Amino acid sequence: MVRLVGDGVENPANAAALIEAARMFAVPCGFRDSRGLAGQLPDISTVDTDGLLGQRIVAVDNAPGAESVYRTAPAPPGASVVVGNERRGIRPDVLRAAARTVHIPMPGRGVNTLNVATAAAVALYYLLDAHGRRQARAPRPESHRPALLLAALRDHVEAGSSLRSAAAFGWPVVTVDDREKVWFGTPRPVRTEARAAARSHRNPLRVAPAGDAWSPPPGTRVVVCGPDVDGPPLHRTELTGPGTVLVVPDGDGWSAPPDAEFARVAVPGEPGRYRLLTGIVLAEAARQLGPRPAGAARPPRRGLSYGSALAHSAPEADLVLPWELLEY
Ligand SMILES: C[S@@+](CC[C@H](N)C(=O)[O-])C[C@H]1O[C@@H](n2cnc3c(N)ncnc32)[C@H](O)[C@@H]1O
C-alpha cells in the first residue's frame, strides 16, 4: 500500500480535503508538519523528516523535468506519494530524495496549478490504476474539447476549486448550474474589481450561468460523470468529441436528460468532495484530448468552440481572473 504525504501543507481546510483524497483511494495520509498544522488539527498523523526521506518517494509537483502522471508507472507498494505547500510546493530535500517526480500536465493559459488536495486525488487516480485507459487523441485536441456543465453546486469553495481546475486543464469557458446560489449568489470580495480587470486581462475564465431550465441543444451528447452513476468507468468512456457536454453534478440533485450517457468515477474508497471529483473527471478528459500540439499558441480564432457556443446564449457570464482562482 502507498501513503499520501502533505509536505508543509498549511491551510487546515486543504489538509482536511487531503485526508479525504487519501480516503477515496483507501490509503493512509500523513503530514510533514513544518507549518504548525497540528496546532489547528491535533488529530492529524505526522511524519518526521527521517521517516519520510528514508522511504521510496514519488513527488507530485510541476518541477522541471517531471514526467507526466498520465504516462508514468504505478507507484510501488510502500511508496510515499508527496504533495507540497500551497504556495511554495514540495521542499527541495524531498524533491532531491524522490525516486521520481510526476506532474499533472496543465494546458491552461493563466492558471498552472491545481488545489493541493485536487492534485493529490488526480495523482493517486493515475498512480494507483494504470490499466485499460483509452488512447489519447491527436492532433487537433481543441476541436474535440467537450463543453463543461458543473451542476447543482452546493459549496462556494468546492465550486471555486473546480473552476480553478477547469481553467488549469484548458477550459476557457464553463457553464454553471447555480441553483443554490453558491457562486453567482455569493459576493466574492474582489468580484467587482475582478469584472473590471477581466475586461483587459488576457486569460479570464468565462463562467456562464445555466439558467433555471437548462437543457442541452438537440444533437448534444450528454455524459454525466459521478461516483454513484450506473455506467462504465470514466477511463473507458469517450469523454471528448464535438457536440459533447460533460456534466459533473455535486450530489444527486440534478436530473439527467433521458438519452444521457453515464461514466462512473470508480475509486476503491469513499467518494470524495466535489473538487476531487471534478479534478479527476477533467484530468481524464484532458488526457483523452491529448497534449496541445507544439506551436498551437492559441485556440482557433474563427468560429466558437462547442462550449463557447453554448455559453454564448447565457444572459450574463462572469469573468474570473486566474489570480482569483488561485485563492481556491
Ligand atoms: C498550489 S501547488 C504549489 C504551487 C507553487 N507555487 C509551485 O509552483 O510549486 C501545491 C501543491 O499541489 C500539487 N500540485 C498542484 N498542481 C500540480 C500539477 N499540475 N502537477 C503536479 N503537482 C501539482 C503539488 O504537490 C504542489 O506542491
For the Cβ of 62 lying below 6 angstroms from any atom of ligand 1, the answer is yes
For the Cβ of 94 lying below 6 angstroms from any atom of ligand 1, the answer is no
Pick from 328, 314, 286: nearest CA to 176 = 314
Do residue 80 and residue 161 come from a single domain? no
What does the pLDDT read at residue 317? 76
Rounded Cα–Cα distance for residues 16 and 51 (Å): 22
Helix (H) and strand (E) counts in the chain:
10, 13
- Rounded to the nearest angstrom, the gap between the alpha carbon of residue 185 and the centroid of all alpha carbons in its chain is 23
Q: Which residue, judged by its Cα, is nearest atom 12 of ligand 1?
A: 116
What does the pLDDT read at residue 132? 57
Could you tell me if residue 223 is inside a domain? yes
Do residue 80 and residue 219 come from a single domain? no
Do residue 158 and residue 297 come from a single domain? yes
What does the pLDDT read at residue 321? 80
Do residue 223 and residue 309 come from a single domain? yes
What residue numbers bound the domain in which 46 lies? 3-103
Burial group, residue 139, by CB count within 10 angstroms (0-12, 13-18, 19+): exposed
Pick the last residue of a domain from 47, 76, 103. 103
Name the residue of 31, 61, 72 whose CB sits within 8 Å of the most ligand 1 atoms, as the mutation to test its pocket. Answer: 61
Domain total of the chain: 2
Question: 133: which DSSP letter?
Answer: P
For the Cβ of 105 lying below 6 angstroms from any atom of ligand 1, the answer is no
Pick from 107, 104, 102: nearest CA to 65 = 102
Rounded Cα–Cα distance for residues 91 and 107 (Å): 25
For the Cβ of 106 lying below 6 angstroms from any atom of ligand 1, the answer is yes
Ramachandran sector of residue 47 (left: φ over 0; alpha: ψ -120 to 50; beta: rest): beta
Could you tell me if residue 276 is inside a domain? yes
Do residue 99 and residue 148 come from a single domain? no
Do residue 161 and residue 278 come from a single domain? yes
- Rounded to the nearest angstrom, the gap between the alpha carbon of residue 322 and the centroid of all alpha carbons in its chain is 15
Instruction: Report the separation in Å between the CA atom of 68 and the middle of ligand 1, taken as the mean of its atom positions.
Output: 13
Do residue 315 and residue 193 come from a single domain? yes
Could you tell me if residue 116 is inside a domain? no
Pick the last residue of a domain from 77, 103, 129. 103
Do residue 82 and residue 201 come from a single domain? no
Could you tell me if residue 245 is inside a domain? yes
Pick the last residue of a domain from 51, 76, 103. 103
Cβ-Cβ contacts under 8 Å for 39 (sequence gap 6 or more): none
Q: From residue 89, how far is each of 8, 94, 172, 273 by CA, in Å? A: 8, 11, 26, 22
Do residue 24 and residue 96 come from a single domain? yes
Ligand 1, residue 82: give the atom nearest the CA.
25
Do residue 316 and residue 191 come from a single domain? yes
What does the pLDDT read at residue 213? 73
Q: Would you say 104 and 81 are in contact if contact means Cβ atoms under 8 Å apart?
A: no
**What CATH number did the domain enclosing 98 receive?**
3.40.1280.10
Ligand 1, residue 116: give the atom nearest the CA.
12
For the Cβ of 61 lying below 6 angstroms from any atom of ligand 1, the answer is yes
For the Cβ of 87 lying below 6 angstroms from any atom of ligand 1, the answer is yes
List, for the chain, all residue ranges whose pLDDT scores fall below the cut of 50.
190, 194, 197, 300-303
139-142 long-range contacts (CB < 8 A, ≥24 apart) are 139/290, 139/293, 140/293, 141/240, 141/289, 141/290, 141/291, 141/292, 141/293, 142/289, 142/292, 142/296, 142/299, 142/300, 142/305
Rounded Cα–Cα distance for residues 264 and 100 (Å): 30
What does the pLDDT read at residue 170? 94
Rounded Cα–Cα distance for residues 73 and 130 (Å): 7
Do residue 159 and residue 86 come from a single domain? no
Read off the C-alpha cell for 61.
509537483
